Amino acid sequence: MKLKKNLLVGLLVTTIALPSAAEAGSLGKAVFRGATKSASKTLRGSAARTLRRDFLRDRATRARPLFQNRRVFRYTTKAQARQELQRGIQPGSHMTAHATGGRPLSPTQAQSRYGLPQKPEVRETVRLPKGQPIRPNKAVGGAAGVGEFTSSRRVPPEAIEKVVPLR
């Protein structure tokens, strides 16, 4: 909302208030610079609030064991995937609720659908074993109605079936 106000004020000032185009350009640049600075601060604060809200919500959700094996996806970076292939997936790491057939989402689509803080580089296919304690929730900051899992226990490295690079 702040960004819209700042841009609107900048447009009004540059088009109405100043008589010469040279003066309007320099003032417009200054107003735009201020608007983008405040917008970036707002967005950084917003992302931090979203991640904190997600963490607190996940911690408050009771874990329940899976009744049967389940395949899910995990979107992450290449470095993180390499580490997880050796040590397993850390408790509290986010995974999708379902693994569906077809092409992987693009990094931008995955980020917006699941509310990821950065663009993922790879998609891991993970088979969660029966009895694995999981916390089912909705993806905070993602698309409406999209579910996700977090596990309260480490997922073993053997559970990672495949790693696919994203384009």
Condensed to tens digits (0 to 9), the pLDDT of residues 124-159 reads 999 999 999 999 999 988 899 999 999 999 999 999
Cross-strand bridge partners of residue 149? 95, 136
Q: Is the domain of 70 the same as that of 55? A: no
117 vs 27, more confident:
117
Question: pTM for the whole thing?
Answer: 0.70
- Percentage helix, strand, coil for the chain under 3-state DSSP, each rounded to 5: 45, 25, 30
Nearest to 98 by CA among 63, 72, 61: 72
Q: 79 CB contacts (<8 Å, ≥6 apart)? A: none
Q: Is the domain of 28 the same as that of 75? A: no
Q: Is the domain of 94 the same as that of 150? A: yes
Q: 2 CB contacts (<8 Å, ≥6 apart)? A: 38, 39, 42
Ranges of H-type helices in the chain = 2-12, 21-60, 78-87, 107-114
pLDDT digits (tens, 9 = 90+) for 61-100: 999 999 999 999 999 999 999 999 999 999 999 999 999 9
Q: Is the domain of 51 the same as that of 82? A: no
Q: Is the domain of 160 the same as that of 89? A: yes
pLDDT, position 64: 95
Q: Is the domain of 141 the same as that of 156? A: yes
Q: Is the domain of 56 the same as that of 81? A: no
50 vs 12, more confident:
50
Q: Is the domain of 39 the same as that of 91? A: no
The domain in which residue 45 lies consists of 2-60
Among 38, 60, 82, where does a domain finish? 60
**Per-residue tokens: 12:** 């009004």
Nearest to 35 by CA among 18, 12, 17: 12
Q: 109 CB contacts (<8 Å, ≥6 apart)? A: none
Cβ atoms within 10 Å of 137's Cβ, excluding its own: 17
**Per-residue tokens: 61:** 């959700």
Q: Is the domain of 75 the same as that of 157? A: yes
Among 15, 39, 60, where does a domain finish? 60
